Amino acid sequence: MKTIIYPGTFDPIHNGHINIAERAATLFDKLIFVVADNDQKSSMFTVKERIIMIERATEHINNITVNSTSDLIVNFAKRKKAVALIRGLRHVSDLEFEFQMALMNFHLNPEIVTLLMMPDEKYIHINSTVIKNVSRLHGDISIYVPKSVEECLNNKNK
């Protein structure tokens, strides 16, 4: 069984993330979203809230599960017997950071491969920070996030 890990903060998950997960899930037997539990970052949503949002947003995909970790992602991947990590790549500016992370992860565990996947072009310009900012200012984010995530954002921004 081939397992891939999709790590990130997902604060919140958006349709770009889901688009990548849907396609990656067809290539692997199991995809595990892993929510980063990083106390160095200031997140809008708790880890538990993010896990629930991901579960709701991906319930239509049969081979997805959701976990969290505060450990190195390659250690988590090894425990789960994963063969790869999937990361989203939107712009050339993302490449430098993702390349650096992929090389470090390879150094830490050469058995774990990092795959970079671009989302559908209609999501190439979005990220969680932009979505949170537009939502905070009561802009329409409905084409960028599932309804359940939009509701969570609206509740936080009341």
Concatenated DSSP letters of 77-130: HHHTT--EEEEE--SHHHHHHHHHHHHHHHHH-TTSEEEEEPPPGGGTT--HHH
pLDDT number for residue 101: 95
Cβ 12 vs Cβ 53: under 8 Å: yes
Tell me which residue of 91, 124, 10 sits closest to 58, measured CA to CA: 10
> What confidence score (pLDDT) does residue 83 get?
98
CATH homologous superfamily for 3-124? HUPs (3.40.50.620)
Domain boundaries, the chain: 3-124
Residue of 17, 50, 87, 132 marked active site: 17
Chain-wide mean pLDDT for the chain? 95
pLDDT at 29 (0 to 100)? 98
Alpha carbons 20 and 86: distance in angstroms, whole number: 8
pLDDT confidence of residue 140:
96
| 91 catalytic per annotation | no
Does residue 128 carry a catalytic annotation? yes
Residues lower than pLDDT 50 in the chain: none
Check residue 158 and give its pLDDT.
80
User: What's CA 98's distance to the chain center, in Å?
Assistant: 13
Rounded-to-integer distance, Cα 147 and Cα 141, Å: 9
Catalytic site includes residue 41? yes
Residue of 30, 56, 80, 90 with catalytic role = 90
